[in-house]
Chains A and B, each alone.
Chain A
Amino acid sequence: MDLVSLSGNLLYAAFILYLIATLFFGATIRQKDSKVKKKGISGNIAITITILGFLSHFGYFITRWMSSGHAPLGNMFEFVTFLGMAMILAFIIIYFMYRLSFLGLFALPIAMLIIAYASMFPSEVAPLVPSLNSHWLYIHVSTVAIGQGILFISFVAGLMYLIKEIDQSKRTSKNTWLEVILYTAFLFIGFIVITTVFNIMGYKATFEYQEGTQMVTTEYHLPAIAAPNNGVLITEEVMEPWFEAPTWMQGADAGRKFNTVIWSVFSGTIIYLLTVLILRKRVGAALQPLLRNVKADLLDEIMYRAVAIGFPIFTLGGLIFAAIWAQIAWGRFWGWDPKEVWALITWFFYAAFLHLRLSRGWHGEKSGWLAVVGFGIIMFNLIVVNLVLAGLHSYA
């Protein structure tokens, strides 16, 4: 087996191990009195399997590095996979601080969703462009990912807090918002499912369109609902597009990305509706009983602690190391590139979070919403800014 396929298999193994670990974390729910059996057997097994998964994941990273000759942090697949690894690492660290098994039940599936999302991007080992050829890039990207991984734990704890504490007995604006948050997870699932299905079918349709002063082509791997603006379908015997992407959708492959979003919303919504139909209640309401045995103020504590630990690391990686690299590569440590601005926005946001936490009024539920929004900003930077508001760092 060559290194590249070994690396791919290790990633696959990590994914399976995380799945098994989640099941074991799930088994801890049945231990009635979580206080007495704090160090219950299934919790120990679960964290051991998680660590094995992490090691396998790390093995993926190292073998891929060995095969390409550069740290695999150069494109969307590689970065998001690494982010998934950082999330798992952050979970392991926080687990040993607080020994809360339930955290694993929520953190692992969401991290797995991120890893599955990563694998939808082209995963060939790609050569490095000159601007990325710097040790500072590795230092910057890996530190950012670790910071974001820890902030992710704050999101998970915040989300758990909201699921636990928000009244589900009747429909309110709060539990509707919570449902919207859970629904976005289904959009990711929809994206993953639909992309996988058409990839297996090997679907392809090519369009030609004008971009600025040049003619370019773009290849769709999902049937075209939305064609590129002024695009002409070249491939024969495939589905005709229903409409064109609006003019203001700019940038490379804007039409194709728009089409992907439409498909994700479409399939995600169907999966969500099916889930609700089976559960016969809101997803949030269905999850609530799982958290019966968890103490709300411990969740609040973890959520805040994770921000306190993650914020300095994020600052170091996302602003300071980023600036050092930009200074060496372009001679300017700050350039108001959209990616940089969004790192600044994230930083402002968590600074505001920390200041609000200084007053009692913002503990608990309000912090929970903030933790969710903060992670929303991080994901926005990762997905929308990378793929839409393309800048220098764009991986698309």
Chain B
Amino acid sequence: MNKIKCECGHVNPEGTVLCEACGKPIEGNQHIDGNDKKMLLNMRYEGTARRSQTYRKSFIDKVWSFFSSVKVGVWLIVVALVASMIGTLFPQSQFIPANATSRDPAIYYEDQFGLIGKIYYQLGFHEMYDSWWYLVLLGLIGVSLVICSLDRFIPLYKALRIQKPKRHETFLNRQRFYSETEKVSQEEIEQVKAKLKKQRYKITEENGHILAEKGRFSRWGPYVNHIGLIIILLAAILRTTPIMFTDEYVWVREGETIVIPGTKGEYYIENEQFLLEMHDPDDDRFRDAIASGGMVASNYQTDVVIYKAKQDIPGAEPELEPILDDSIQMNKPAKFDGYTLYQSGYQQNEFRSMTFKIHETNDEEATAIDSFTIDLFNPESEYILDSGFRVVLDQYYPDYYLTDEGVPASETNYPRNPAFVVVVYPPDASEPEVSFLGIGRNIDATGENDYKVAIQDFDTHYVSGLTLRVDRTLIFFGIGAAIFMIGVIQGMYWQHRRVWIHPKADGVLLAGHTNKNWFGLSKDIEKAIEQTNIKMVEDRQELDK
């Protein structure tokens, strides 16, 4: 390795721009930080040797340089930003509204948005944030984060530890804040030192050369925050594994006890009741708003009991032991043994039971001779009535519809639109009569029935929709976010400020540098040199056009 020895005696690694100890520009390397074209030195990395700027030959060097470039990092961020924007142009497939004419993405986008919609769909933008290339983009940002941080952190750390109070003259007079004073007394310098100390600067001295420094730790802010970001990206990868993340949706009817999916049959849930509460439209506070905007729900709540199944004998019915009695509300999930249950939806339109009456077909008043009730979750095959009628339940379609071939069928197993074929055995005649019953339908198969069966009453119940989540990655996201916050605050709310005082003949050279908030540094210097002869530093900011 071609180490470089500076005139101050310090040995610098290859690729160093400013001597780590005294800051003297090292000849031949000034182009690296662009110092050759400027009056001011680029202080961003203290002129340290960075791998990315030093070795650029092999393939690995090239990849390293590529990813460690802030320019590349910014481009990656900008591309991710633009892609994210495009993804919000039209609703993502998961947000296609429920009342759309078709929820099939292949139809929806073209139907709603025309040709642009079709192209949007065909390019896969309707599932932008799950697309492989979006994830690759985030991955590349991660790689870039790691490499750029490694590239800079170690050399920067070393340089800030080694730095000497005694700096080379060119280092001072090529700083943005700089002044030269011809005549300065020792008392004045002592006074400045004392004032800087009072402003919590740390003073180090070497033969009358003074370095006053504060807030160095804020220089580590970006590296800390990048570590936080990397942890978040790793957590996102972890989250794709089933051990770390489970997501299930379960519908539970009032009064029902069922096994909770995703818990390997270990836990059961009972829905004791579901509550849907509305804000009172007569409440003085909200009267106007409800009158103009309609009723507003105030609470969705499921009162549940969670059971743990104890399976002593394999295959036998498990014994259920209640472990939790809770009311799940929006913003108030229930937690048990690492699982969390959220209130996520409800259905109102399910029937629980239906009551039918039997009357004579030609009775205009339709006076009930007798009636019977079918429990839609537990229908019996035969109902024997007090009056001597016998009703046999021949067919039951919980969620009735007619197939394209005209055959009756059930769409789901849930009683949302129940229909029945019943056979009525009147007490007097032995000839049974067949009827088809449904909501808004009452078909007499032969047209010769003496008796008619009609819906008298029905009972509905709520079905509560609950989401079950296990998310063991939350803790990692939390840690990542906390580290990120610590890092940005450290880097943004503190600044690394330095003031150098360099004795020269009877006077001093004064220079100052900060990584941000130059206004603050100039105030500090102003205060420190008050009532002395020392000239205020001049701000010689150079803007690139």
Contact = CB atoms under 8 A, between A and B. Distances in A.
Interface of A: 4, 67-69, 98, 122, 124-131, 133-134, 136, 211-214, 247-248, 250, 297-298, 301, 304-305, 308-309, 311-312, 315-316, 319-320, 323, 327-333, 336-338, 341-342, 344-345, 348-349, 351-352, 355-356, 358-361, 363-364, 385, 389, 391
A332 B22 CA distance: 53
A15 to B, nearest CB: 22
Contacts of B290: 127
10 contacts: A126-B296, A130-B297, A212-B100, A301-B518, A323-B477, A329-B342, A331-B467, A336-B87, A345-B84, A352-B81
B304 to A, nearest CB: 15
Contact of B331 (A315, A329, A385): A329
A319 B488 CA distance: 14
Contacts of A360: 42, 542-544
B485 interface: yes
Interface range for B: 35 or more
Contacts of A355: 70, 73-74, 77
Contacts of A250: 112
A195 to B, nearest CB: 17
Contacts of A127: 279, 283, 285-286, 289-290, 296, 298
A349 B81 contact: yes
Contacts of B331: 130-131, 133-134, 136, 328-329
Contacts of A247: 112, 114
Contacts of B288: 124-125
B488 A315 contact: yes
A25 B116 CA distance: 50
Interface stretch (B47-55, B91-99, B447-455, B505-513): B91-99
Given A127-B283, A305-B517, A248 B112 contact: yes
B70 A331 contact: no
A130 B299 contact: yes
Given A328-B333, A331-B340, A363-B543, 10 more contacts: A98-B519, A124-B286, A248-B112, A301-B517, A320-B485, A330-B342, A332-B469, A336-B87, A336-B129, A341-B85
A348 B285 contact: no
B26 interface: no
A68 B285 contact: yes
B329 interface: yes
B85 A345 contact: yes
A134 B493 CA distance: 30
A98 B44 CA distance: 25
Nearest to B114: A248
Contacts of A133: 298, 330-331
B84 A352 contact: no
Given A69-B285, A126-B286, A129-B297, A389 B99 contact: no
Contacts of B95: 337-338, 391
A389 B92 CA distance: 11
Interface of B: 42, 44, 70, 73-74, 77-78, 80-81, 84-85, 87-88, 91-92, 94-95, 97-101, 112-114, 116-117, 129, 279, 283, 285-286, 288-290, 292-293, 296-300, 329-333, 340, 342, 344, 467, 469, 474, 477, 481, 484-485, 488-489, 492-493, 516-519, 539, 541-544
B84 A341 contact: yes
Contact of A312 (B70, B101, B493, B516): B493
A363 B518 CA distance: 13
A128 B484 CA distance: 33
A332 B342 CA distance: 10
A205 B170 CA distance: 76
B88 A338 contact: yes
Contacts of A338: 88, 91, 95
A385 B344 contact: no
A130 B286 contact: no
A349 to B, nearest CB: 6
Contacts of A331: 333, 340, 342, 344, 467, 469
Q: Which 8 pairs of residues, A with B, have the shortest CB-CB distance? A: A212-B99, A130-B330, A127-B279, A331-B342, A126-B289, A361-B544, A134-B331, A124-B289
Given A305-B517, A331-B344, A213 B88 contact: no
B289 A311 contact: no
A358 B44 contact: yes
B99 A213 contact: yes
A131 B99 contact: no
A291 B70 CA distance: 34
A126 B289 CA distance: 5
A128 B293 CA distance: 12
Q: Which of B290, B330, B340, B484 has the most CB of A within 10 A?
A: B330
Contacts of A333: 474, 477
Contacts of B481: 319-320, 323
Contacts of B298: 127-130, 133
Contacts of A305: 516-517, 519
Contacts of B477: 323, 333
Given A309-B493, A330-B342, A331-B469, A130 B474 contact: no
A356 B75 CA distance: 10
B285 A301 contact: no
Contacts of B493: 308-309, 312
A215 to B, nearest CB: 11
A342 B95 CA distance: 16
Nearest to B332: A328
Contact of A301 (B80, B297, B340, B519): B519
Contacts of B42: 360
Contacts of A349: 81
A312 B518 contact: no
A162 to B, nearest CB: 15
Nearest to A348: B81
A129 B296 contact: yes
Nearest to A125: B285
A389 B543 contact: no
A358 B114 CA distance: 44
Contacts of A336: 87, 92, 94, 129
Given A330-B344, A355-B73, A297 B541 contact: yes
B228 to A, nearest CB: 10
A98 B261 CA distance: 60
Contacts of A348: 77-78, 80-81, 84
Contacts of B344: 330-331
A329 B332 CA distance: 7
Given A248-B117, A328-B333, A312 B84 contact: no
Nearest to A330: B342
B544 A309 contact: no
A305 B521 CA distance: 13
Contacts of B112: 247-248, 250
B378 to A, nearest CB: 32
Contacts of B85: 341, 345
A338 B469 CA distance: 23
A206 to B, nearest CB: 13
Given A305-B517, A329-B331, A315 B485 contact: yes
A297 B176 CA distance: 13
Nearest to A360: B544
Contact of A297 (B99, B342, B539): B539
